[in-house]
Each structure stands twice: as C-alpha cells, then as structure tokens.
C-alpha cells in the first residue's frame, strides 16, 4: 500500500476527535492503514507508553520466563534467582539471533546460533572464542533491560526508562476494579496467540464500543446488557493512563452463557450494585478487559504492522472457582457463548479494515453510546500531537545546524 504524507494538517484535524462526544468525529482513516503513520506511531506511542505483555503468574518462580513481540521488538520476561521479575530484549548482542522463544524454565538463555550465554538478569555470562577480539568486554554486551511494572497482576513494560510510573495514573480505573481483586484472580496462560489482519486500534475500539452491542449481538446471549444502559465516567484525570465504561444489566449476576447468569463463583469483593453491571476497562495501547461478575476476559493487543496485530486472550476467575468439580464444563459453556459473540466482532473488525482503505472512508460522527471512543481519542490524540511537535522541532534544529 502506498504511504501517504504526514503533515501538520493531519494532526490539526485530529482535534475534532476529542471534542465532546456529541460533536466529535472519528480519527482520519489513514491512522488505521498508512505505513508511514504506523512508523510514526511506533515512536509516538509504543516507544513511550506502558505495554502489557502478560500476567505475573506466567513467570511465578525463579527461572520461569515467557516471551512476547510488540511493535517489532522481541522481549523476554524472566524471574531471576533473586526473585526479581525483569523484562529485556530477546535479541542476542552478537548477531541479532533471538535467544529465547515461547515460555518455560531456564537457568540461563543460550543463543542457539553461537552459544553466547546470558544470565536471567540479561548480563552476558559467556561468549565462546571471543578472546582474540580486540577490546571486547562482556559487560558491554548485556541484553538491554527495560522498565517493568505490575498493575493488577498484569506485567507492563516500557522502553522509556524515564517514563512516569503507571499505577498512580490508573488510580481511578483501579478504584472501579477493586471488587475483582485482579492481582489474585486465577487463569491459565493462553495456549497461543491469534494474529489478525487489521489495525490494532480497530480491535481496541470494538472492545470499547457499547453502541453495537444491542445491534450486532442481538439475541439471548447478549440481550441482558442493552446499549441504552451504557454509562461513561466524567471524572477521569487529564493524565490518566486508562479509562473504562460500565453497562447496567437487566438482572444481577449476569454473564455470557445460555442461562444469562453467573455459573462460576462471583468475585467476592463486588457490592450488590456492582453485581448489577459489567465493566469494560482499557489501558491503551495494549490491554482491554471485559468484566462480568464471575469472569474477566482480557485481551493483550500487540501491534506488529499498520494493518495487523497479535492478541493474547485469556480468562480470569475468582481463586476458588477451580475447586468446583464442574469447573471445566462451566468454563466450556461460557466459552461457547463468548466464541459466538467474539466471532461476530472479528468479522466486523475485518470488514471495517477493508472499509477504511476506501477513498470513501468517512470521519464518522459518534452516538452518545460511543462515549468510550472519545475517551480513547483523548488518550491518543495528545500523544500524537506531542510526538509530531517534537519531531518537527528536532527536524528544525537539525536544519538550522546544517
């Protein structure tokens, strides 16, 4: 696909996407399709923001590790013998071979190409046959280590070591999620990733969108959570790192299955009022949560191109859920219902991406039921504008020095 030029007019035009919902319009279509914009976005967003890569439980003990890949960066998250969880590049500092794949338990990471060996903290422990290389010092070739933070049991990584801490900027979101006690919620590591041929924002927006629920998902698996009962917060701080929406349900303890009611243990910290709604929480650009009273579906979105991304999708439940002898059967019942709904969403996402490539693709207007889209835009647009301004300033300074 031919890349389009990025200019001041494009970023100025984004201001209409953060107007009040009744006045706002969607982002310019090229933000979802253009290769140059994706390259810009990698620096504006993915190089500076906290990126979810998994759950802390995936590397619970010393030597446990898992790998990830986001915005062209292969990563390892490993628990050292000192008990500290670290995130580092998976790229061998010799010839760029990846030193780890998948997940498991290791005493060290040995590059299969030339057997350079890295300790669990990323330090280079061995480099065979390098004794004749001039001025070679092992300490100069450690794996790059990145900032890491745990929020609600999820592992976040930031390539910018000077980034502001994540948790304080998610205080409002954490307050809404308190009853779920996500740090102690349990769930198996997803068996594998999915890769989808559409922009990461298309999927993120669909996960945020309550407007389509009573239309696209009309039927017995979804009718208990009507779009007209969607609610959007108006008190999120300006520096928030995430946002949420809630949706009242027609009866308490509603859940996505054929019975329309929770079949697994309800999260014990939920109040009576909280048991009469669902929560949709988002920490862009990577984590989206769909929260019912007895389970939490999480999606970890990992952009890998202008029109593609990968997703790790899992389910969390209250810690005592697995004690139920019928746990597997009840989970299967929920999975059957969720799969039908998810398949509808995936088809829409694919068709939206096709539409966004069209020369007739609009900058659409929002319904009040799409308030979460504006919340997403108010997170994105200032970051885009800031990065564009910084780039222009840097290019101007470079021109002045010539």
Full-model pTM:
0.95
What is the reported pLDDT for 5? 73
Q: How confident is the model at residue 370 (pLDDT cuts 50, 70, 90)?
A: very high
Tokens of 254: 């509603």
What is the reported pLDDT for 245? 95
What is the reported pLDDT for 402? 47
In Å, how far are 26, 273, 299, 358 from 362, measured between CA atoms?
8, 39, 28, 9
What is the reported pLDDT for 220? 87
Q: What number is the average pLDDT over the span 298-303? A: 97
What is the reported pLDDT for 399? 53
Pairs from 1-9 (Cβ < 8 Å, separation ≥ 24): 1/33, 1/34, 1/35, 1/306, 1/307, 1/357, 3/34, 3/35, 3/36, 4/30, 4/34, 4/36, 4/37, 5/36, 6/36, 6/37, 6/40, 6/388, 8/388, 8/392
Note the pLDDT tens digit of each residue in 69-102: 999 999 999 999 999 999 999 999 999 999 999 9
Q: What are phi and psi of 369, to 5 degrees?
A: -75, 0
CATH ID of 51-158, from 2.102.10.10, 3.10.180.10, 1.10.357.140, 3.40.50.2300: 2.102.10.10
Which is nearest to 282 in space by CA: 206, 338, 336?
Answer: 206
Q: Concatenated DSSP letters for 372-392?
A: HHHHHHHHHHHHHHHHHHHHH
Count of CB atoms situated within 10 Å of the CB of 300 = 23
Note the pLDDT tens digit of each residue in 311-351: 999 999 999 999 999 999 999 999 898 899 999 999 999 99
What is the reported pLDDT for 4? 60
Could you name the CATH architecture of 8-48+170-386? Alpha-Beta Complex (3.90)
- The SS3 of residue 80 is coil
pLDDT at residue 400 tops 70: no
160 touches 147 (CB < 8 A):
yes
Q: What are phi and psi of 227, to 5 degrees?
A: -60, -35
Task: Give the chain's radius of gyration (CA, Å).
Answer: 22
Q: What number is the average pLDDT over the span 123-146? A: 96
Note the pLDDT tens digit of each residue in 195-237: 999 999 999 999 889 899 899 999 888 899 999 999 999 889 9
389 touches 396 (CB < 8 A):
no
Measured at the CA of 82, the angle between CA 319 and CA 130, to 5 degrees, comes to: 130
Domains 8-48+170-386 and 51-158 share a fold: no
Tokens of 40: 């810009």
What is the reported pLDDT for 1? 46
What is the reported pLDDT for 100? 97
Element (H or E) spanning 396, and its range?
Answer: helix 371-401
In Å, how far are 25, 48, 365, 401 from 22, measured between CA atoms?
9, 31, 8, 46
Note the pLDDT tens digit of each residue in 4-48: 679 999 999 999 999 999 999 999 999 999 999 999 999 999 999
Q: What number is the average pLDDT over the span 157-161? A: 96
Percent of the chain residues topping a pLDDT of 90 = 90
Residue 368 has, within 13 A of its CA and on its CB side, a CA count of 5
For the chain, the structural domain boundaries read 8-48+170-386, 51-158
């Amino acid at each position: 696909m031919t890349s389009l030029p990025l200019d001041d007019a494009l970023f100025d035009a984004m201001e209409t996407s953060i107007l009040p919902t009744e006045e706002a319009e969607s982002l310019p279509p090229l933000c979802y399709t253009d290769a140059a914009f994706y390259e810009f976005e990698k620096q504006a967003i993915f190089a500076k923001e906290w990126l979810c890569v998994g759950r802390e439980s995936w590397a619970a003990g010393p030597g446990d590790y898992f790998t990830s890949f986001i915005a062209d960066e292969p990563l390892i998250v490993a628990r050292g013998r000192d008990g500290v969880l670290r995130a580092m590049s998976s790229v061998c500092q010799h010839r760029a071979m990846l030193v780890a794949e998948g997940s498991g338990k290791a005493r060290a990471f040995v590059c299969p190409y030339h057997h350079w060996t890295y300790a669990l903290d990323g330090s280079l422990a061995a480099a065979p046959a390098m004794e004749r290389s001039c001025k070679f010092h092992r300490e100069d070739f450690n794996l790059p280590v990145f900032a890491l933070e745990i929020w609600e049991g999820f592992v976040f990584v930031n390539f910018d070591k000077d980034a502001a801490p994540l948790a304080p900027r998610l205080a409002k979101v954490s307050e809404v999620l308190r009853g779920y006690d996500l740090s102690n919620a349990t769930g198996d590591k997803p068996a594998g990733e999915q890769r989808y041929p559409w922009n990461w924002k298309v999927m993120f927006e669909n996960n945020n969108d309550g407007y389509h629920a009573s239309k696209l998902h009309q039927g017995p698996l979804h009718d208990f959570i009507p779009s007209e009962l969607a609610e959007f917060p108006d008190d999120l701080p300006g520096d928030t790192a995430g946002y949420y929406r809630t949706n009242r349900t027609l009866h308490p303890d509603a859940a996505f299955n054929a019975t329309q009611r929770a079949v697994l243990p309800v999260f014990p910290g939920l109040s009576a009022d909280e048991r009469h709604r669902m929560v949709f929480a988002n920490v862009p650009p990577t984590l989206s949560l769909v929260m019912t009273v007895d389970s939490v579906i999480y999606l970890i979105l990992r952009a890998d191109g202008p029109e593609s991304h990968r997703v790790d999708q899992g389910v969390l439940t209250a810690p005592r859920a697995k004690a139920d002898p019928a746990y597997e059967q009840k989970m299967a019942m929920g999975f059957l219902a969720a799969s039908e709904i998810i398949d509808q969403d995936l088809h829409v996402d694919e068709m939206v991406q096709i539409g966004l490539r069209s020369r007739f693709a609009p900058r659409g207007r929002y319904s009040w039921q799409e308030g979460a889209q504006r919340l997403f835009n108010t997170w994105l647009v200032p970051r885009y504008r800031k990065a564009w301004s910084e780039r222009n300033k840097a290019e101007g300074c470079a021109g002045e020095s010539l």
